[in-house]
Chains A and B, each alone.
Chain A
């Protein structure tokens, strides 16, 4: 069965510093991986996805993610964090016509 894991419940970063939100995956076959963000009291918003090709995927709001097949990871990154990036981040993997979500990581960016 397909699955993803987000090993950190919370990540704290100072504004202006780089940020990384971790995700590892377990799949049979080719992985289709996604990152979503959820701001307080809102639905999830799509950030980026990996289908095939370049291991560095660029997405919305300056985010990017690095796909690493040997480490089965798909970490979300941003070179310079903003306070407005504070939110809940979800990694997900495609399983047939469905998405399997990780538990979520709360990102807190302090001024």
Chain B
């Protein structure tokens, strides 16, 4: 039982390049989330999904797109990377059945955009 995994762990991009971050969970969770973490700002929600085939915008969605084609995977895409997207990205998932179920987090992806 691996929990929540993220690929890749590190990445350096040049401005304008694109990339996709992959999140996978093996807990059969309905809900999945993408956050970014920046110093002094805590975690901010980018996009989330309440089930396979659904996505919704979070607090800071601009410049990102997501897809949830399979229940266990949640992809975060950057179409044209900008230096402001330099951050650590975390994926999380939680079970349905109650709004107070805790979220389980992946280990993070450290992205640098030059």
Contacts and interface: CB of A to CB of B under 8 A. Distances in A.
Contact of B106 (A32, A43, A102, A104): A43
A51 B90 CA distance: 25
B40 A51 contact: no
B100 A43 contact: no
B102 A101 contact: no
B64 interface: no
Given A43-B90, A46-B104, A97-B31, A32 B99 contact: yes
B40 A98 contact: no
B99 A97 contact: yes
A44 B105 CA distance: 6
Contacts of A97: 31, 48, 50, 99
A42 B107 contact: yes
Given A94-B99, A98-B48, A103 B40 contact: yes
A43 B42 contact: no
Contacts of A111: none
Given A98-B48, A103-B41, A42 B108 contact: yes
Contacts of A103: 40-42
Q: How many B residues are at the interface, by size bracket?
A: 20 to 34
Interface string B90-106: 10100000011011111
Given A42-B108, A49-B100, A101 B4 contact: no
A73 to B, nearest CB: 18
B6 to A, nearest CB: 8
B77 interface: no
B113 interface: no
A42 B109 CA distance: 10
Given A46-B102, A49-B100, A98 B33 contact: yes
Interface of B: 4, 31, 33, 40-45, 48, 50, 58, 90, 92, 99-100, 102-108
29 contacts: A32-B99, A34-B102, A42-B107, A43-B4, A43-B90, A43-B92, A43-B105, A43-B107, A43-B108, A44-B43, A44-B105, A45-B105, A46-B102, A46-B103, A46-B104, A49-B102, A90-B42, A97-B48, A97-B50, A97-B99, A98-B45, A98-B48, A98-B58, A99-B45, A101-B42, A101-B43, A101-B44, A102-B42, A103-B41
